[in-house]
Amino acid sequence: MLAPTVDTNILSVAFRDRSLCTRGGTCVGICPTGAIQIGDDQYPVLDSEKCTSCGKCGRACPGGEVNYHELTQSTFGDIPPANDFDGHVEKSFTAYAENPTMRSGGAGGGVVTALLHDMLKHGDVDGCIVTRMRADKPWLGEPFIARNTTDLLLSQGSRYSVIPLNAIFREIRSSVGRFAIAALPCQVHGYRKAIEEDSVLRERIVVVIGLFCGGALEPYVVEELLQTKGIRLGDIQDFQFRGGSWPGKMRAVMRNNEIRDLHHSNYKDGAYNYFTGMYMAKRCQTCIDGSCEFSDLSISDVWTRDSNGDYKFTAHSRVLCRTALGISVATRAAERGTLKIREVTGDTDHQTHRFQTRRKGLNAPLRVARWARSGIPVPLYDRPTPEATVKERCTEYAVSSCLRATQFHSIRYPLMRFLTSQYAKPLIQLRMWRKKRKYRRNAIRRLRPT
């Protein structure tokens, strides 16, 4: 309970409405008195006796409002906000790590790890803000500061559950040096707001690597997935969201070092796209930034497929450089032999994946507008709702209905159990067949004379 002397209107949005909280940890990281901690469910918890009502956490909180005009001005200067999903882009590259260990151990060719490694190795930064699975509870993620290559290798691979990355700002504020951060869109929103409140953070976090995001999953997704396979939490030493060969799959590393695959097919066709329909966090459902628009450079896998529906660029990432600093970070890593890059600015083979664009660029804003009309709390955006067809509006409603239904364990758990079992193999095969047919049809249309 909050003490009567604490005005919740000046605190971060979590203390008024949890449904709007991104659980990015910005309020924890910026609080000057340590009055806010992370709770077991990754939501912030306030110690009202330590709170001085300074209001910093409320002003830095990205949960209740994201002003694209202000973030554009503070990130890129005097230019108008971008109107498309990718945001402001100066140059685009495809890339992968030259180091085979980094390339095979990371998602999308190990590009994020390679970039951070390059900056650490050459003294551009003294540490990197990244995430890893906890040693004591390997089914949960946590933020930490990697100060050498060994630390960075612990951070390799994607983690798709909610992690309060920006809570590490507290440690950054009391540290000496320059730091890079690899962050999701909501975490970058919090960072941009936080540096307006804290000059120390502005001086110390000097490079922002953005990660494309389709929506973070509730932290209990791993527990329930393990439970469907009869695996006790205490029997694992690590959990991998994208283990093995690209594009990877969700796997448990047992204490005896046995690796247990937890679903069929790969993570994209056999897990993540299903799980986002059941476990996507509430605030993620109303986030309209999927490309991390306010970073120095943003990274995503290259999901481009050929006319047969097969991936054209395995273990590659697409790098969207948004600032002069972002271009410098990428090109220096290539010049130093850390990264293999190729410029693809304007190349249609490397456009953002349509499904990803639809999820965040169309479904989410439609959901925000619909919920607002119904009186459901939603974040405030200064972007208009995009035009949509009746079919697109029906699709958004169907996806939202699935998310609403799977809030209930009695529905979610058996569905998860089925989708990761052998009985779902025909469904996966059907999904992949439909994809291949779609890409073949698209190839035929492009060859037809206009």
Residues 54 and 186 in one domain: no
In this structure, is residue 376 part of a structural domain? no
Residues 292 and 434 in one domain: yes
Residues 35 and 139 in one domain: no
CA distances from residue 330 to 63, 91, 105, 336 in whole angstroms, order as listed: 31, 10, 20, 10
Give the pairing of strands 317-321 and 91-97: antiparallel
Residues 283 and 367 in one domain: yes
In this structure, is residue 377 part of a structural domain? no
Of 21, 42, 60, the domain-final residue: 60
pLDDT in tens, the chain (450 residues): 444 577 889 999 999 999 999 999 999 999 999 999 999 899 999 999 999 999 999 999 999 999 999 999 999 999 999 888 999 999 999 999 999 999 988 888 999 999 999 999 999 999 999 999 999 999 999 999 999 999 999 999 899 999 999 999 999 999 999 999 999 999 999 999 999 999 999 999 999 999 999 999 999 999 999 999 999 999 999 999 999 988 899 999 999 999 999 998 888 877 788 899 999 999 999 999 999 999 999 999 988 877 777 788 888 999 999 999 999 999 999 999 999 999 999 887 777 767 778 889 899 999 999 999 999 999 999 999 999 999 999 999 999 999 999 999 999 999 999 999 999 889 888 888 887 787 777 767 666 665
Of 41, 60, 79, the domain-final residue: 60
Here the CATH number for the domain that contains residue 26 is 3.30.70.20
Residues 26 and 126 in one domain: no
Residues 327 and 448 in one domain: yes
Residues 53 and 77 in one domain: no
Residues 173 and 156 in one domain: yes
- The DSSP code for 49 is T
In this structure, is residue 437 part of a structural domain? yes
In this structure, is residue 412 part of a structural domain? yes
Residues 53 and 118 in one domain: no
In this structure, is residue 104 part of a structural domain? yes
Q: Which residues contact 390 (CB under 8 A, 6 or more apart)?
A: none
Residues 176 and 304 in one domain: yes
Domain that holds residue 51: 8-60
Q: How many domains does the chain have?
A: 2
The pTM of this model reads: 0.94
